Structure 1
Amino acid sequence: MATGTSKFNTFTFFKLPSAWWCGVRLRYLDEKKAVTTVTHRWVNQNPFKSMFWAVQGMAAELSTGAMVIDQIRSSGKKISMLVQNNKAHFSKKATGKITFTCEDGHLIADAIQKTIATGEGQKIWMKSVGVNDDGVEVSTFNFEWTVKLKG
């Protein structure tokens, strides 16, 4: 693991406080996979007594973005990152603890190397799947990340 999850969770507290207060936490991170969790509570629920879609989106985005941040740091270069698009699908009411897993970290290094080599922005789509405690898929998010060499 390149960077500790506690360091990212501290980052979340200071830089993404709404995610932190809603209970989003990074649980696992390496160069290929990241896992986040969020538990349904009063503070993150919708009027239908399930988890608000945006809270699921924050947890899903962190599972993709943590790997992008980590690999940018490892490159030693100044590279900007931004979500340009996202798509989501909701298949079941999200209650209890939801775990989001992204296993698309292998896509990041190539995009970073291409932006360093060419100076042109690169785009990659990364998928994060959320499952409940029973292993049932509740939502799937796809994020189009852009990376570009600064300066």
Structure 2
Amino acid sequence: MLSPLTKANLYLKSFGFFKVPLIWICRPKILKLDRNSVEIKIPLKRKTKNHLNSMYFGVLAVGADVAGGFMAMSKAQERGEKVSLAFKAVEGQFLKRPEADVHFVCDDGPLIDKMLDETFETGERVNQAVKITAICPSLHGNEPMAEFMLTLSLKKMGG
């Protein structure tokens, strides 16, 4: 029997491969997924580095996208519902060069639950900003390398 985390990683890999190849190229791995938070790791490798040997900012955006979006998709699936998910806005603060594997942490599970409750109840699109923090635990512990605010947009699909 596969653990929930293993199943989540298999789903993420297949989603990346078939739907968003750039996600697949970045090789994100879900390290933690519970009701309140998600933690995704993207390895610093040749394909994810910039010319300064730190993580390319486009890859940082991919990590923030996966951390902010995966929890919403997972929570909708748990409820047996389908949701249309998009990001309507992004703000990013780049604080320090991430020169090792980067972990993307989103602790907005309760907010995402409220958003899902609202769209499943009303059928209307719901927009809220979720926070994702990028850290390099192997070099700097929990010190933020970058912080993102992504406006997550959810809408119940189907009838």
**Which of 57, 60, 72 does residue 61 from structure 2 map onto?**
57
Structure 2 match to 1:16: 20
Following superposition, the deviation at residue 13 of structure 1 comes to 3.3
Deviation at 1:22, TM superposition (A): 2.2
What percentage of aligned pairs have identical amino acids?
A: 23
* Gaps in structure 1 of 5+ consecutive residues: none
Partner residue of 1:145 out of 136, 152, 157 = 152
- 1:112 paired with 2:119, answer no
CA apart distance, 1:2? 5.9
Q: Partner of 1:148: helix, strand, or coil?
A: strand
Where does residue 82 of structure 1 map in the other structure?
A: 86
The one of 20, 39, 46 equivalent to 2:43 is 39
SS at match of 1:99: strand
Equivalent residue number for residue 7 of structure 1:
10
Q: Distance in 2 between matches of 1:25 and 1:38?
A: 7
Inter-partner Cα distance in structure 2 for 1:131 and 1:104: 17
Offset of residue 8 of structure 1:
3.1
CA 22–68 in structure 1, closer or farther in 2 if over 3 Å, else same: same
Match of 2:76 in 1: 72
Cα deviation for residue 71 of structure 1 reads 1.1
Shift of 1:128: 0.9
TM-score, with structure 2 as normaliser: 0.85
Q: Report the alpha carbon displacement of residue 21 of structure 1 after superposing the two structures with TM.
A: 1.9
TM-score, normalised with respect to structure 1: 0.89
Aligned mates of 2:126, 2:117 — CA distance in 1: 10
* RMSD (Å) for aligned C-alpha atoms: 1.8
Q: Which letter maps to 2:127?
A: K
Residue by residue, what CA displacement relative to the aligned partner does 1:98-129 show, whole Å, maximum 9, x if unpaired? 11111001111211111122221111211111
